[in-house]
Amino acid sequence: MNRVVVTGFGVISPLGLDWSDTWSGLVQGRSGVGVISDFDVTGIPVQIGGQIKGFDPSAVLPAALVRRTGRTTHLALAAAVAALHDAKLEIEPDAAARVGVIVGSAYPPLRAVIDAHAAFERRGFMGISPYAFTAAGVVGPAAEVALHLGARGPSASLSTACATGATCVGEAMELIRSGRADVVLAGGADDTLTAFELAIAARAKALSRRTGDPERASRPFDRQRDGFVMSAGAGILVLESAGHAERRGARIYGELAGYGATTDAYNLTVPDPAGVAVERALRTALTEASAAPEEVGYVNAHGTGTPLNDTAEIKVIRRVFGEHATTVPVSSTKSMTGHMLGAAGAIEAAVALEVLRSGITPPTVNCDDPEDPAMNFVAHKAQHHQVDVAVSNSFGFGGHNAVLVARRWTGGGDGPVR
């Protein structure tokens, strides 16, 4: 099997419109969560979120493309363009059949559906945009990325709820490992920050109610946590076979060496308290990467700030890492970005890869009273560590689990997977 490396990041988050600003914000411990200002939140008990500020899709995309697509697709397209630029890669026609796209979202484009329905109510049939039908489909981000960039290899839109970004990256790995593609753009995008979507998430009691203190609302692993903060975002990674990347002299962030995917089959919204399937996903990813638990130098936790999820994740880390669980840095960057849903797993995989390169582990802010005081949650301030193996955990409603393991790149081209 081909080895898989990452050569480009395209990220749009509440902390910034590119990877540089997002990473800088994470290292500084800066929160991207604030009071919602993009729409009227009157009557909704949750009035905070991680909004994308200053994003103008027309600055990077053709006007006709912007008109026919919705906000989530705009984010995915802009992130994909940025990822290719970061990788210094152009998709040439003679190589396009070997370039794949695996991009998903946790939720359908409800904004497009809501807007089309409102237009129908106001003006009837002729009020509906001719683009409404395609804009309301779940395949939009993946299909539009492939169309805009000219990628003609395998493509798919996958959804595993909040694990979507990581699942897309993991399945893209498999395309390259098996030789079905040389390059895959993989990740996720979501913009669920509308009044309706905020209201239904709040009605489900999934969101933090710390409306008066937005920057301190996302509190992974803290005993006072009361739910996650919903955010918008997009994260696209450029994956390549190691040989392909080395032949073109690409800058390599790191190797994606392991992927584990499982399902709880326990409850639609509640994680299995024992974390049996999560543990199996983590152990599978480590085995694929030929990494012993004690080799892991950083864990980017799923860490949503919901009471049940964080407790279950702590239990799994304790079981898998044993004594090492008290020394390995474990942080949740959702404490600063909020939960970007389908984008989260891809952006957090980028975080894990950047930790390998920089030796900086971003903090878990707002972790004032950790549930497990013996563990190193990198509370409040970033830390410096030499990291050769990093883990990124992602879990979602429906019991979907996806774990990625990244290794520092030491060369070796298309040699066999360890």
Environment class of residue 63 by beta-carbon count within 10 Å: exposed (0-12), middle (13-18) or buried (19+)? exposed
DSSP code per residue over 374-403: TSB--BSS-EE---SEEEEEEEETTTEEEE
**H or E element in which residue 142 lies:** helix 140-149
Decide if 162 is catalytic: yes
The residue type found at 401 is N
Which residue, among 289, 324, 336, 258, has the nearest Cα to 22 in the 3D structure? 336
- Residues 232 and 254: their CA atoms lie apart, in Å, by 26
Where helices occur in 150-300 by DSSP H, the ranges are 164-177, 195-203, 242-247, 276-288
- Residues 104 and 86: their CA atoms lie apart, in Å, by 21
Question: Are residues 48 and 34 in contact, defined by beta-carbon separation less than 8 angstroms?
Answer: yes
Alpha-carbon Rg of the chain, whole angstroms? 20
Greatest alpha-carbon span in the chain: 65
| Candidate list 17, 162, 378, 402, residue with the active-site label | 162
Indicate which residues carry an active-site annotation.
162
